[in-house]
Structure 1
């Protein structure tokens, strides 16, 4: 499941992912994501819930397709991305792929969600 976080600071968008993400989940969330991507300066908080199980049917393909499209189209607009998770593999993966992420990237634990929001807004 993908859901928008509503209690975000001004100028910051947030999402929470949980369970197993399918291609249909990503396609269904696209209109909301497009709204979040409107603007000249993008600041994001992504919370990866403890029950996140990865991708289900068509999820990885759709994520890559939409994700690379967003990166190419909005590359210069990304300023800060805060990823909030207690899963060790998330931190390892982000460290390995951080060279591909535009803007500043920082990883926070789930207990530090408020700090992640403040940092993304800063």
Structure 2
């Protein structure tokens, strides 16, 4: 295999793995949104909202102001959705890491090395 062919195979493998991760995270997030809203995950919506950074807090305060002054619910709804999406994404990324670790634990060392070589090839 030439260096160029090997590099192309490596890039395709990394892209396939990244696509699989993105798809897995999206599915996990969709499946677990109801659990987040019901407070049945490690965190809940209120906790995610309470843990926002200063920039996001400013945006939330502005959206709350618009709701209170003009009755416009859209900005606050969008801000809350963005916070929940980011929180779910972080939880899903952690779950992905745990999923990969569980795969590793279920495989023999030899199988894991073969998996890594396939991912790298």
Q: TM-score range by the shorter chain?
A: under 0.3
Q: TM-score, normalised by structure 1?
A: 0.20
Q: Identify, as 1 or 2, the structure richer in helix.
A: 2
Q: Normalized against structure 2, the TM-score is what?
A: 0.20
- For CA contacts below 8 A with separation 6 or more, give which structure has more relative contact order: 2
Higher strand share: 1
Q: Larger Cα Rg: Structure 1 or Structure 2?
A: 2
